[in-house]
Amino acid sequence: MSPESSTAPAEARAGGLVDGAGHPAVSPMAVTPDTELSAFVPTFRASAPYIQAFRGKTFVVAFGGEVVADDTFPNFIADLNLLASLGIRLVLVHGARPQVEKLLAQRGMESRYHRGIRVTDESQLGSVIGASARARARIEAALSMAPRTAAVTPSHNRVTGGNFVVAKPIGVIDGVDMKYSGEVRRVDAQAINDCLKDGDIVLMSTLGYSTSGDTFNLTVEEVATQTAIALKASKLIFLLDTPGVLDADGTVISTLYTREASAIASKAPQASDVQFFLSAAVRACQKGVVRAHLIGRKSDGAILQELFTRDGIGTMISVDSLDNLRPATIEDVGALLSIIEPLERQGILVARPRALIEREIERFFLAEHDGQVIGCAALYPFPEANKAELACLAVNPDYRREGYGERLMKAVERAAKEHGINTLFVLTTRTAAWFTERGFRQATITDLPEKKQALYNFERASQVYVKQI
Ligand code: ARG
């Protein structure tokens, strides 16, 4: 073991999240862009894990007819093309409400809704089919467009559709006969998968066909949700009018677990985007879709920002937390070094050669966010003295002040207790405040286990802090 292996100053000094004392953050890992161009590099690098993770995964993207009618529609389609080019298996589900309304108005007919769902009578079904076909043609045309900036003509996108959804009538709700408005009975996942396997983009409308040969008008959220579930999709993405699910102050709620999300959905105004899409998102997640995202249709590039940045831009719904604390394994050595090396270079942590880390890997705990290692801490027990050292507590500066340091500290405490140890100590040069706020009190070198005293580095002159656990 290195003579002096502490500690948490790592985080605080490095701008790493936990500095309760409010020291100015010096970030050894952050790149300071001095031009706009250089800002691109860290951004692009940060998106790499997502690019890798998404290849070969199935995403279902649902959007209403408003999106198709919008001026920015070609940009949205260009972004979808980009996703497809990264190897994402894309299923698009489009609505056509404004298009249907326009056609009905032209024909002197009125739209009727019950609980936010169109009541489609026989005389209107033709308009629904016509409007849906028009919307589809516009989407197919846009998907076929080669990007203006492309030097060479990229390979042509193939768009497929078909009778993938078996429908049935909704029937009567609150005494209202919904007529040709229907529900999903079954989604032919195999047929869709066959197309995706061939590299096609699958484009689905809200029309479904019953086994009796009738056409039914379905809702976009139901088709999308049932399709995502049937395909075991990684993601279900809805575009809505607001930039995401908003809290009382109008700020986007960035992440929701299914339980919180269903509480919000049940309180949302009747027939609102949030009520429909958020409940659909919850259903999808409960049935195995990994993540659902609600993003604003009005902000250009929102889908890219949501998918390729850590914090996204809209609301993400998932069953579990993204955060994970776990013991390190030998495969983690590289990731661990990338967290601690910048701090070692600054003299904040005592240098630990790779070989040492490999030998002592089982002493380390890791904090992960979304599958990436972002923090670590180690436990060095001195059982003969009934004491243990909390060492090498460090967190990536991008994740500062999010409580990872504290959770790592607690994990180390728990592990120490499991060793039957009831005193934890740290050696720190600069972040005493962080530890005192968390129940440590200053002690002296003589409070250290004898073995540790023998290794104490007087030049470094760290302070000793202890905590009874
Ligand atoms: N880019 C990541 C993903 O697509 C994380 C997105 C986080 N989004 C959010 N609204 N918090 O899975």
Ligand 1 center to 457 CA (angstroms): 44
Atom in ligand 1 nearest the alpha carbon of residue 315: 10
Q: Give all strands (DSSP E) within 57-213, no chain letters.
A: 58-63, 89-94, 113-114, 117-118, 159-160, 165-169, 172-173, 176-177, 182-187, 201-204, 207-209
Tokens in use for 393?
Answer: 């507590």
Whether residue 50 has pLDDT greater than 90: yes
pLDDT at 445: 95
Residue 7: pLDDT band with limits 50, 70, 90: very low
- Nearest residue (by CA) to ligand 1, atom 6, is 312
CA distance 85 to 82: 5
Residue 344: pLDDT band with limits 50, 70, 90: confident
Instruction: Determine whether domain 28-308 maps to CATH 3.40.1160.10.
Output: yes
- Nearest residue (by CA) to ligand 1, atom 12, is 307
Ligand 1 contacts CB of residue 306 (under 6 A): yes
pLDDT at 34: 54
CA distance 180 to 268: 27
Ligand 1 contacts CB of residue 316 (under 6 A): yes
Ligand 1 center to 432 CA (angstroms): 35
Residue 157: pLDDT band with limits 50, 70, 90: confident
Ligand 1 contacts CB of residue 295 (under 6 A): no
Phi, psi dihedral angles at 463 (to 5 degrees): -90, 150
Tokens in use for 231?
Answer: 């395909």
CA distance 18 to 30: 17
Ligand 1 contacts CB of residue 9 (under 6 A): no
Whether residue 4 has pLDDT greater than 80: no
Ligand 1 center to 251 CA (angstroms): 16
Whether residue 349 has pLDDT greater than 90: no
Share of the chain above pLDDT 70, in %: 90
Atom in ligand 1 nearest the alpha carbon of residue 252: 10
Mutate to test the pocket of ligand 1, among 254, 311, 398, 399 (most ligand atoms within 8 A of CB): 311
pLDDT at 285: 95
Ligand 1 contacts CB of residue 291 (under 6 A): yes
Whether residue 293 has pLDDT greater than 90: yes
Q: Which residues on adjacent β-strands are paired with residue 240?
A: 296
Contact between residue 277 and residue 245 where contact means Cβ atoms under 8 Å apart: no
Residue type present at position 134: R
Neighbours of 167 (CB within 10 A): 26
What is the Rg, in whole angstroms, of the alpha carbon atoms belonging to the chain?
A: 28
As a whole number, mean pLDDT of residues 273-295 equals 95
Query: Which has more confidence, 21 or 111?
Result: 111
As a whole number, mean pLDDT of residues 452-459 equals 90
Ligand 1 center to 150 CA (angstroms): 28
Query: Which has more confidence, 154 or 1?
Result: 154
Coil, strand or helix at 430? coil
pLDDT at 271: 74
In sequence order, which residues have a C-beta less than 8 Å from that of residue 223 and are 6 or more positions away? 62, 93, 165, 184, 204, 205, 206, 208
Whether residue 11 has pLDDT greater than 50: no
Ligand 1 center to 193 CA (angstroms): 25
CA dihedral 409, 411, 327, 13 (to 10 degrees): -10
Task: Select from 3.40.50.720, 3.40.640.10, 3.40.50.620, 3.40.630.30 the CATH code of 324-468.
Answer: 3.40.630.30
Residue 322: pLDDT band with limits 50, 70, 90: confident
pLDDT at 55: 97
Ligand 1 contacts CB of residue 314 (under 6 A): yes
Tell me the angle at which helices 97-106 and 122-144 cross, rounded to the nearest 10 degrees.
130
> Are β-strands 176-177 and 113-114 bridged in parallel, bridged antiparallel, or unpaired?
unpaired
Residue 184: pLDDT band with limits 50, 70, 90: very high
Tokens in use for 14?
Answer: 């490095």
Residue 314: pLDDT band with limits 50, 70, 90: very high
Ligand 1 center to 291 CA (angstroms): 9
In sequence order, which residues have a C-beta less than 8 Å from that of residue 159 and are 6 or more positions away? 139, 140, 143, 144, 200, 201, 202, 203
Residue type present at position 33: P
Atom in ligand 1 nearest the alpha carbon of residue 313: 10
Mutate to test the pocket of ligand 1, among 57, 299, 306 (most ligand atoms within 8 A of CB): 306
> Are β-strands 58-63 and 89-94 bridged in parallel, bridged antiparallel, or unpaired?
parallel
Residue 351: pLDDT band with limits 50, 70, 90: confident
As a whole number, mean pLDDT of residues 262-282 equals 90
As a whole number, mean pLDDT of residues 288-300 equals 96
> Are β-strands 323-327 and 315-318 bridged in parallel, bridged antiparallel, or unpaired?
unpaired
Tokens in use for 292?
Answer: 């659902």
Whether residue 334 has pLDDT greater than 50: yes
pLDDT at 120: 92
Whether residue 394 has pLDDT greater than 70: yes
pLDDT at 31: 44
pLDDT at 24: 30
Mutate to test the pocket of ligand 1, among 293, 295, 304 (most ligand atoms within 8 A of CB): 293
Instruction: Name the residue ranges covered by the structural domains of the chain.
Output: 28-308, 324-468
Ligand 1 contacts CB of residue 430 (under 6 A): no
- Nearest residue (by CA) to ligand 1, atom 4, is 307
Nearest to residue 416, comparing CAs of 436, 438, 439, 391?
A: 391
Q: Which helix (H) or strand (E) holds 9?
A: helix 9-13
Ligand 1 center to 377 CA (angstroms): 26
Whether residue 354 has pLDDT greater than 80: yes
Ligand 1 contacts CB of residue 255 (under 6 A): yes
* pTM (two decimals): 0.74
- Nearest residue (by CA) to ligand 1, atom 8, is 312
Whether residue 332 has pLDDT greater than 80: yes
As a whole number, mean pLDDT of residues 181-187 equals 95
Give per-residue pLDDT as tens, 108-144. 998 888 988 898 999 999 999 999 999 999 999 999 9
- Nearest residue (by CA) to ligand 1, atom 3, is 307
Ligand 1 contacts CB of residue 243 (under 6 A): no
Whether residue 6 has pLDDT greater than 50: no
Atom in ligand 1 nearest the alpha carbon of residue 50: 1
CA distance 320 to 368: 13
Whether residue 459 has pLDDT greater than 60: yes
Ligand 1 contacts CB of residue 120 (under 6 A): no
Atom in ligand 1 nearest the alpha carbon of residue 316: 10
Whether residue 150 has pLDDT greater than 90: no
Residue 29: pLDDT band with limits 50, 70, 90: very low
pLDDT at 13: 35
CA distance 184 to 228: 12
Ligand 1 contacts CB of residue 72 (under 6 A): no
Tokens in use for 345?
Answer: 């270079």
Whether residue 47 has pLDDT greater than 90: yes
Tokens in use for 165?
Answer: 């959804």
Whether residue 10 has pLDDT greater than 50: no
Q: Over the chain, what is the mean pLDDT? A: 88
pLDDT at 36: 59
Q: What is the DSSP string of 403-415?
A: SHHHHHHHHHHHH
pLDDT at 403: 87
Q: Is 148 exposed, middle or buried (0-12, 13-18, 19+ CB in 10 A)?
A: exposed
